[in-house]
Structure 1
Amino acid sequence: MAVPKKRTSKSKKNSRRANWKQQAAKEARKALSLAQSVLTGKSHSFVFLTNNKPSKNTSETE
């Protein structure tokens, strides 16, 4: 026969929710920091390609 589980207390629920929100806020700060460093060009830990150079396969050689 199925037995219902005990109810989670408000303090435990609030504690878990606060922990989850704190982790989300930390990740948001990290993402914003990375975006700022990429935009200012000071990023050393994030590799991305830029298309500032003209391509070699243009029709100018024809």
Structure 2
Amino acid sequence: MAVPKKRTSIFKKRIRKNRWKRGGYWAALKAFSLAKSLSTGNSQSFFVRQITNKTSE
């Protein structure tokens, strides 16, 4: 017969939740940093094809 487990304390639950949120924070920070380097053209890891507008005369 299944026996219910003990309840997790609020303290432990809060620690796990904060660790999970921190992972999202670092992912967002890295994504923002990459986007910033791509927009300024200083990216070392991605090759971005520059679109040039040629006007015919």
Question: TM bucket by the smaller chain?
Answer: 0.7 to 0.9
Task: Give the TM-score normalised by the residue count of structure 1.
Answer: 0.74
How many pairs were matched up?
53
CA RMSD of aligned residues (A): 1.7
Corresponding position of 2:35:
35
Aligned residue identity for 1:20? W
Aligned residue identity for 1:22? R
Higher-Rg structure is 1
Please list every run of 5 or more consecutive structure 2 residues that lacks an aligned counterpart in the other structure. Answer: none
Structure 1 SS opposite 2:31: helix
Structure 1 runs, 4 residues or longer, greater than 6 Å off: none
Aligned residue identity for 2:30? K
